[in-house]
Amino acid sequence: MSFTVAIVGRPNVGKSTLFNRLVGKRLAIVHDLPGVTRDRREGRASLLGMDFQVVDTAGFEDDGGDSVEARMRRQTDMAVSEADVALLLIDARAGVTPLDRHFADHLRRLPTPVILVANKCEGKAGAPGLYESYGLGMGEPVPVSAEHGEGMYELFEALRDHAIKAGALTADGDDPEPEEPAEGEDGEPDPTRPLTMAIVGRPNVGKSTLGNQLLGQDRLLTGPEAGLTRDAIAVEWEHRGRRVKLVDTAGLRKKAQIYDAIEKLSVGNTIETIRMSEVVVLVMDAAAILDKQDLTIARLVVEEGRALVIAINKWDVVDDPQTALKRLKDRLETSLPQAKGVATVTLSALTGRGIERLMDAVLDTWTLWNRRIPTAQLNRWLEDMIERHPPPALPGGRRYKIRYMTQAKARPPTFVLFATRPEQLPESYSRYLVNGLREAFEMPGVPIRLYVRGGK
Ligand code: GDP
Ligand code: GDP
């Protein structure tokens, strides 16, 4: 069965760029000029192994002679009427414009489901626009960067349920099992959905040995199967009654024996693997912990908003575990402040010691990563934090006014702080709040995002 996705939105938001990324060819010419005329194009797209038809509505070849809005609407209606789902793109850097609102209002009246996509979200410049776009009332926006290929996993997740409904995923055999949405109605993680984890680290730290131990100790639910992407493989088993899916990319697939001869992952593969997983286990060798590469990977995990667990392997050959442990903790504290309190498990992949503790840490971290804090509770805490340590006064001695805070999403926990002059809140104050959140709500080692926003 085919599954069709229409890309709609005002000119210059990046529709053609996204189309090209999904179709994987540099077919269309991308112009900086808004409204450059192009044909409506269709192509065969692939996103993490999910195949579908994609329609790009860029261009206004319509000489109806009436207003831009009317012409755009006709183009859009045509594409959307043939689609299973529409992606409404906005430019997060430009913020929400009246034309975006116009599109949203119009799409709302059509029967086709719409996913709001905030494009140009690479770096930080897109954050205000991303949060502003909640105001369109089109549900949670999916932040992406079509140009840089960021957010493609999130886009895949957002499309997945629609694809399953259209029968596309099952028919292709890519995902034989319809996966439930990440969260139930009450915001709690759905216990029937597998937790997705990956094992990353430098060559020779013991990733394959660890993988084999994990698969050997626990009951394997499925054999090696094609995973989320063409190049990925996933195995699933159960730990303490919870389904766990281990994903890995190209390296694994190349060898028939999944964990016998795992390839040494390149950085590119590592990034891809991180993006596909919820919890990332970073394996280090006890004899050589935290070199530059380890830190790079750890930062990547945090930047990508994934839950991090550190596994210190080959603990069986450590002479003086007490001293080693202390040195290790100090190193982590100073070198990796982004992941303060991250779960660190010492183990031996070879003997299997510590594997249970590792999996417990994976499960715990995942639970925190899914955490949702009720707004009332959050704001009681916020009041207390402000009272204890108020934000510095503005130039001229005026008080800096913080209105309230809300948790915009989980996975990772993401908060929005509403304040009068968002750009004037010092970085140090944001850090104070983030550290406070981590402590008060017990979320050690979980990346926490805080956006400061103006308005009411
Ligand atoms: P369309 O009119 O909606 O099809 O938009 P285009 O795909 O032609 O893109 C318009 C402009 O936005 C071009 O200059 C693109 O290079 C740029 N653009 C597209 N995607 C991104 C992105 O993710 N980040 C940034 N910074 N620019 C982008
Ligand atoms: P990878 O490249 O990260 O997948 O590392 P491997 O799993 O291939 O392991 C590299 C080498 O370290 C192999 O010789 C393993 O036997 C050894 N090794 C892995 N885990 C342990 C461990 O816990 N203790 C000891 N002593 N050696 C280990």
Residue 335 in marked binding region: no
Contact between 120 and 147 under an 8 Å Cβ cutoff? The reply is: yes
Q: Are residues 17 and 111 in the same domain?
A: yes
pLDDT (mean) for 356-375: 92
- Best residue among 282, 350, 353 to mutate for probing ligand 2's pocket (most ligand atoms within 8 Å of CB) is 350
pLDDT at 55: 86
Which ligand number lies closest to the CA of residue 12? 1
Q: Which of 353, 370, 387 is the last residue of a domain?
A: 370
Q: Spell out the residues 6+ positions from residue 177 whose beta carbon is closer than 8 angstroms to its own.
A: none
189 domain residue, yes or no: no
177 domain residue, yes or no: no
443 domain residue, yes or no: yes
Alpha helices, DSSP H, located in 195-277: 207-217, 250-254, 267-276
178 domain residue, yes or no: no
For ligand 2, whether the C-beta of 349 sits within 6 Å is yes
Per-residue pLDDT of 374-431, as tens digits, reads 988 999 999 999 999 999 888 888 888 898 888 888 888 988 888 888 888 888 999 9
Q: Residues enclosing ligand 1, CB less than 6 A?
A: 9, 11-17, 30-32, 58, 119-120, 122, 145-148
**Surface-to-core class of residue 106, CB atoms within 10 Å of its CB (0-12 exposed, 13-18 middle, 19+ buried):** middle
Q: How many CB atoms lie within 10 A of CB 243?
A: 16
Domain that holds residue 424: 375-454
Q: Are residues 325 and 235 in the same domain?
A: yes
**Amino acid symbol at 22:** L
Q: Spell out the residues 6+ positions from residue 270 whose beta carbon is closer than 8 angstroms to its own.
A: 200, 297, 300
Does pLDDT of 66 surpass 70? no
CATH, residue 391: 3.30.300.20
- Best residue among 15, 147, 152 to mutate for probing ligand 1's pocket (most ligand atoms within 8 Å of CB) is 147
Q: Are residues 147 and 16 in the same domain?
A: yes
CATH, residue 79: 3.40.50.300
Residue 212 in marked binding region: no
CA–CA dist 316, 346 (Å, integer): 9
Does pLDDT of 440 surpass 70? yes
405 domain residue, yes or no: yes
Q: Spell out the residues 6+ positions from residue 309 whose beta carbon is closer than 8 angstroms to its own.
A: 279, 280, 281, 282, 342, 343, 344, 345, 358, 361, 362, 365, 445
- CA 343–ligand 2 middle distance (angstroms): 21
215 domain residue, yes or no: yes
Q: Are residues 261 and 357 in the same domain?
A: yes
CA–CA dist 211, 196 (Å, integer): 14
Q: Are residues 13 and 121 in the same domain?
A: yes
Tell me, what DSSP letter sits at residue 24? T
Which ligand 2 atom sits closest to the C-alpha of 351?
Answer: 23
Tokens of 147: 């140009």
Q: Are residues 339 and 402 in the same domain?
A: no
**Three-state secondary-structure class, residue 111:** coil
pTM for this entry: 0.57
CA distances from 28 to 58, 62, 240 (A): 10, 19, 50
CA distances from 46 to 171, 172, 190, 219, 304 (A): 15, 12, 27, 33, 22
Does pLDDT of 354 surpass 90? yes
Q: Are residues 366 and 379 in the same domain?
A: no
Q: How many domains does the chain divide into? A: 3
Tokens of 259: 């964990």
Task: Round the average pLDDT of the chain to a whole number and report it.
Answer: 77
Residue 205 in marked binding region: yes
- CA 145–ligand 1 middle distance (angstroms): 9
Q: Are residues 350 and 334 in the same domain?
A: yes
Residue 401 in marked binding region: no
pLDDT at 365: 92
**Three-state secondary-structure class, residue 346:** strand
For ligand 2, whether the C-beta of 199 sits within 6 Å is no
Which ligand 2 atom sits closest to the C-alpha of 317?
Answer: 26
| pLDDT grade for 101, boundaries at 50, 70 and 90 | very high
Which ligand 1 atom sits closest to the C-alpha of 31?
Answer: 8
Does pLDDT of 446 surpass 90? no
Q: Atom 11 of ligand 2 has which residue's CA nearest to it?
A: 204
Q: Are residues 117 and 53 in the same domain?
A: yes
Alpha helices, DSSP H, located in 151-266: 152-165, 168-172, 207-217, 250-254
- CA 34–ligand 1 middle distance (angstroms): 10
For ligand 2, whether the C-beta of 358 sits within 6 Å is no
Which ligand 1 atom sits closest to the C-alpha of 150?
Answer: 23
Q: Which of 355, 370, 385 is the last residue of a domain?
A: 370
Which of 63, 59, 17, 55 is CA-nearest to residue 34? 59
Q: Spell out the residues 6+ positions from residue 178 whose beta carbon is closer than 8 angstroms to its own.
A: 164, 169, 170
CA distances from 180 to 74, 244, 378 (A): 35, 15, 28
Per-residue pLDDT of 153-167, as tens digits, reads 789 888 988 887 777
Which ligand 2 atom sits closest to the C-alpha of 203?
Answer: 2
424 domain residue, yes or no: yes
- State residue 234 phi and psi, 5-degree precision: -140, 140
Which of 232, 225, 181 is CA-nearest to residue 49? 232
pLDDT at 49: 65
- State residue 356 phi and psi, 5-degree precision: -60, -45
- CA 120–ligand 1 middle distance (angstroms): 7
Q: Are residues 424 and 327 in the same domain?
A: no
Residue 336 in marked binding region: no
Residue 316 in marked binding region: yes
pLDDT at 359: 94
Residue 288 in marked binding region: no
Tell me, what DSSP letter sits at residue 144? -
Radius of gyration of the chain (CA): 24
Does pLDDT of 44 surpass 90? no
176 domain residue, yes or no: no
Conformational region of residue 397, where left means phi above 0, alpha means psi within -120 to 50, and beta covers everything else: left
Residue 261 in marked binding region: no
Q: Are residues 248 and 139 in the same domain?
A: no
- CA 106–ligand 2 middle distance (angstroms): 58
Q: Atom 18 of ligand 2 has which residue's CA nearest to it?
A: 206
Give me the half-sphere count of Cα atoms (radius 13 Å) on the Cβ side of residue 162: 21
Q: Are residues 12 and 137 in the same domain?
A: yes
Q: Which of 370, 391, 424 is the last residue of a domain?
A: 370
Poorest-pLDDT segment among 252-256, 332-336, 341-345, 404-408: 252-256
- CA 14–ligand 1 middle distance (angstroms): 4
Q: How many CB atoms lie within 10 A of CB 422?
A: 15
